[in-house]
Each structure stands twice: as C-alpha cells, then as structure tokens.
Amino acid sequence: MRKLYYLLFFISCSVSAQIELKIDHISFLDSIPTERKFTINYHIENLTDKEVSFFLYTKTLTPNLRASQSKTIIYKIYEETDLLDIEDVFNNKKREAFIKKLEEAKTQKEKDSLLSIFFKKEMNMDYQAMINKDEKEQLKHEKDLVLNSIISLKPKEKILYTKTLNWDKTRYYKILDNEYYINEDKLHFIELSINLDKVGYNYNLESEEFEKITSQMNFVQGTFTSKKMEINFKE
C-alpha cells in the first residue's frame, strides 16, 4: 500500500513539473483619471528535457466565472485571501455600453456594424468575413483554429506573453444575488491558470487526423497554476 502511495505521488509530481506558468511582472498606468491600464508579462515554460505539446488559445484571458471548460488562460482576482469571483473586472463599462448599443440597434445593418468594430478591436477578427463563410469554409476555419492552437515547446523552452487589461475603476459589482466591492484599502492579487486537455479539440478534426497528431506529439494534460502576484487597485 505504501509503495502504491509513493508511486502515485511520484506520478503526480512528474506531471505537475512538466509546465510552468508564471507571472513575471505587472505594471500599470493611469492614462486618464477614470481608467487604469495594466500590462501583465507572463510566460509558459517547458521544464522537461523533451519536447512537449498542448492545445491552448493564448489571445485572451478569461475570468474564472466564465472559465468552465475554457480552452484559454484563466485569471482569478483575490482580495487578500478571498476570491472575488467577478465576471469581468476589466473593460466592464465598455462591454456594458457595447451590449446596450447592440440591444438598441434598430436594424441588422446597425448590429453588424457594431459587431464588426467589436470583433476587430477586441479579437482582431473580421466579423463580416466570418459570417459570410459558407458551411465548408466555416468548418475549415474551425479546423485551422484548432491546428493553430497547438503549442510545442522544445526542452527548457520558454514563451513570453504580454497582455494589456483596462480597468475602468469600477469597484462595486453585483452578479445575481452576490455583491462584491474592490476595497482600495486592501491588497489584491491576480492568479493565472490553464487547463490543458485533448477533449473537445477532436470535434473539428477527422478522427484519424486527431489521433495521428496527438499520438506523434508528447501532449501534456493537466491543470497548471501560477503563483499569485499583487495587482494595484488602490487610488
């Protein structure tokens, strides 16, 4: 029994030591009185002596509240040791204003115009080209997204990322029956995590192609979490 325990412990440690997700530095700038721009520098590193691969969409950071089965990098905000499970601390008022404009749009042309601006600015995607694709083109687009999400790291290789997030200095949030307030007198921290898995990526690929890709590459699976780093929500 003891041998089995040590074997399971060794396997667990080996898996967790494959990938490191780490926040390197956070800076901020109050460009205008009502907005603070955070620049977050972080990296993903292969800690092993062999090449590893995994599926991950790296263009966006997703708040924990919307992170169920997320294939992106997830962030959590803490006040001291308490999790502030807020849907979106960043770009809150801008998103609310966008949704309101979308709801008030009287024609489909107005809606398409708003969506085109949003997709271009927030996701660097061409909305019109996306909706004009026929079924065959759409399937190819979804397949390309999956193939482009494959990240391979050579032994000890590190990939650096920089993400800019805007906080409009909103402090009070209400989500259903839960109320949150970002207290300027307390310390706050941000934590990043990734859930690496192969489930869900096979839907957009032929089964033979998916099996060939995942069997030939050393695919990493598991959850990896960074250490918390202080983020400044003080005035």
**Mean pLDDT value across residues 45-67:** 91
Give the pLDDT confidence of 64-104 residue by residue, as tens digits.
Answer: 888 777 789 999 999 999 999 887 788 756 666 777 788 88
| Structural domains present in the chain | 18-90+150-230 (2.60.40)
Q: For residue 99, give both structure tokens.
A: 């949704």
pLDDT at 121: 67
Mean pLDDT within 217-222: 89
- In DSSP notation, 125-180 reads --HHHHHT--HHHHHHHHHHHHHHTEEEE-TT-EEEEEEEEEE----EEEETTEEE
- Average pLDDT of the chain is 84
- Give CA–CA dist 177/60, Å, rounded: 28
Residue labelled with tokens 């969506």: 115
- Give the Cα separation of 26 and 173 in Å (integer): 23
3-state SS string over 184-226?
CCCCEEEEEEEEECCCCHHHHCCHHHHHHHHHHCCECCEEEEC
* Banded model confidence at residue 10, pLDDT cuts 50, 70, 90: very low
Quote the pLDDT of residue 14: 43
pLDDT exceeds cutoff 70 at 141: yes
pLDDT digits (tens, 9 = 90+) for 150-179: 999 999 999 999 999 999 999 998 877 888
Q: Are strands 72-79 and 57-63 parallel, antiparallel or unpaired?
A: parallel
In order, the DSSP letters of 30-54 are EEETTEEEEEEEEEEEE-SSS-EEE
Residue 113 parent element (H or E): helix 108-123
The amino acid present at 94, given as its one-letter code, is: K
- H or E element, residue 83: strand 82-83
Q: 61 has which bridge partners?
A: 73
Of the ranges 50-59, 65-74, 113-122, 210-219, which one carries the lowest mean pLDDT score?
113-122
Instruction: Please indicate whether residue 196 or residue 127 has the higher confidence score (pLDDT).
Output: 196
Note the pLDDT of residue 175: 79
**Tokens representing 153?**
């790291």
- The rounded distance, in Å, linking the Cα atoms of 122 and 91 is 10
